Chain A
Amino acid sequence: MQGMIKLDPLAFIKSILSSPSGKVSIKIPSEIKYLRKASSKILSALEGRNVDEGRIFDIKLCIEEAVRNAMVHGNHFNKQKIVKIMYWIGGDTLHIEVEDEGSGFEHAAIVDPTDPTNITKNSGRGVYLIRKLMDKVEYNDKGNKVTMTKILNQRGNIVCP
């Protein structure tokens, strides 16, 4: 898998794959410069679906928080390690998986950043925002993959592509 990634300016483009099931896989090196490209690619898939601006904001934020966490805490900014992002839309729901090559983390052990004793500390806020802004958040047992789900339309209507 890693062999597919070349650390050149086209690395991002080379790493997008679509499957017949509609799942799109993006693989990016652990560099911040690819963060926005990944979120933009996913958000572009929502164009024409009448997703309101608030939800677009939430989705963008959660993608970037999850991918950044994968780069920082999972891959420790090792450029040779990739972050794998898979997304698909089922009916009116967006699913996004973000996976790193790290040994995983105990997400339940993250301190509550809203606790008065932690409020001025700068850790755990990204994970907390993901939990609050997405409709469903699940981690694999290893702790190196998060799956986020967001309903795209408030009324739950099926929106055709």
Chain B
Amino acid sequence: MPVKIGNRNGLTICYVEGEIDINTSPDVKKPFDKLISSKTPKIIVNLSKVTYVDSSGLATLVEILKNMRSYGGKLKLSNMSSKIKSLFEITKLEKLFDIVADEEEAISTFV
């Protein structure tokens, strides 16, 4: 399973591992669909163990964000490698997402 789900300070934290691409995107999205169906209000996505993201992976994250926003949920992305962060900058998705340096910053700005 490429996504492990934890809880800190009452916040749901999703730890994604490996690659988010055309092959893995459906498996990455599944646990988020469950959290979204139960209208989880705040989710932190820790990407520290993500090594590769393609346009399908970016699309998957956009889809998750859109679905969360549909019920007023909030999402933060944390612990991105500099390379993956550069993809968000190039595609200007950094303006769409709330990107923070690490989990601690995500928690402190969420609570």
Contact A64–B59 (Cβ < 8 Å): no
Bound CA–CA A119/B91 (angstroms):
8
Bound CA–CA A113/B58 (angstroms):
12
Bound CA–CA A114/B91 (angstroms):
6
Chain B residues within an 8 Å CB radius of A57: 52, 83
Report the count of interface residues on B (CB-CB < 8 A): 20
Most chain B CB within a 10 A radius of its CB, from A32, A54, A125, A126: A125
Contact B93–A65 (Cβ < 8 Å): no
- Within 8 Å of chain A (Cβ to Cβ): is B21? yes
Q: Which of A15-45 contact B (CB under 8 A)?
A: 32, 35-36
Bound CA–CA A125/B72 (angstroms):
26
A146 to chain B minimum Cβ distance, whole angstroms, is: 15
Given A32-B22, A32-B23, A120-B62: A128 and B91 within 8 A (CB)? yes
Given A120-B62, A120-B66: A64 and B87 within 8 A (CB)? no
Interface residues of B (CB under 8 A from A): 21-23, 52, 54-56, 58-59, 62-63, 66, 83, 87, 90-93, 95-96
Closest 5 CB pairs of A and B: A122-B59, A126-B55, A114-B92, A125-B55, A132-B90
Known contacts A35-B22, A68-B56, A126-B55; 4 further A-B pairs (Cβ under 8 A)? A53-B83, A57-B52, A120-B96, A126-B54
